[in-house]
Chain A
Amino acid sequence: MRWTQAHIKTYQQAREYVDTAIIPLIPLQWGKSEKQIITMGEFTGYLSESLEKQFTGRVFLLPSFTYLISENMEERVERLKAWDNHFYQEGFKYIIYVTSDADWKAAEKKLPDELLWMPASSPDSFEASQFKRLIEQQVEQIMPIFTAKWQSEPLSREN
């Protein structure tokens, strides 16, 4: 399900089945290596959308969490925690952060739930069909992470 009017209606009828949220983490920067930064964001976007498509009945894809590369990690983590906490309180017991920005790997332990880091590939370097296939393969490999997560108890939050 996605952040749209149509999908929120479906959600309201099936709320007890939807317990997982995906938050794409998208970096911003202009004037320096913006091409690379955009590639990360674009790839994260495609991947999140494909995951949503695969698990549409149980997963809600939230709008992207965006941040300036220059924002320090502690602040970012605090802001993301606030998002996480809000949605956790509202019934999303599993929250998955999807990103291609390796900076988050360093902060992984401070995050309340699962970080999914995937190195970005640029759609530039592939044919459209190949790129689609690549994303699908990534999704196939990620699927067990979701199913294993659903087998286990949700992680508890500090407060």
Chain B
Amino acid sequence: MSNEKRHRVSRRQFLTYTLTGVGGFMAAGMLSPMVRMALDPALEAGADSEFISIGISEDELTDEPQRVDFQVELEDGWYTSEQARSAWIYKEGDEIIALSPICTHLGCTVNWDSNENHPEQFYCPCHDGRFERDGTNIEGTPPTRPLDIYDVEVRDGAIYLGQINQRS
């Protein structure tokens, strides 16, 4: 009799177990979206490094940088938008170099070989920033680091660009 009684769950115990269980579910329900949100940027970064075709083939490239414009699809929550990107792309021996045209000083768009006084350089019309052919910033001009560089991949002769990397 007393043995059986010990196995019995009292009203108080039953309520404690039930409430702990329900409370646990509620806490999990509240925390999991937060954890998901906190992890989201990390998951996004993976998606960002996808390579996209820029509509130009390897044999169209020369050792003279040429400007290529292309579209990147950006997903911001449920809203997808197209963003225009550009690259200055050329061949250095067997290697393909694709530089971002965004001046590392304040973000104007640089052009190749566009200033008479500074041929064979990337030139920023805003504050006379200049970069060498390989994107290295020229000492004495406002930019303090080289032009950013794209990851490049060749698939069946077509050029694909990946993420943009900062150099220092």
Contacts and interface: CB of A to CB of B under 8 A. Distances in A.
Contacts, number: 37
A57 B107 contact: yes
A56 interface: yes
Interface residues of A, number: 16
B127 A146 contact: no
The A interface, classified by DSSP as helix, strand, loop or mixed, is: helix
B126 A58 contact: yes
A14 B108 CA distance: 13
Interface string B102-130: 01011111000000000000001111000
A17 B108 CA distance: 12
A156 B81 CA distance: 43
Interface residues of B, number: 13
27 contacts: A10-B106, A17-B105, A17-B126, A18-B106, A54-B108, A54-B109, A55-B108, A55-B109, A55-B125, A56-B106, A56-B107, A56-B109, A57-B103, A57-B105, A57-B106, A57-B108, A57-B124, A57-B126, A58-B106, A58-B108, A58-B126, A58-B127, A59-B126, A132-B84, A136-B69, A146-B125, A147-B125
Given A54-B108, A58-B108, 10 more contacts: A14-B106, A17-B105, A53-B109, A54-B109, A56-B108, A57-B106, A57-B107, A57-B124, A57-B127, A58-B126
Interface of A: 10, 14, 17-18, 53-59, 132, 136, 143, 146-147
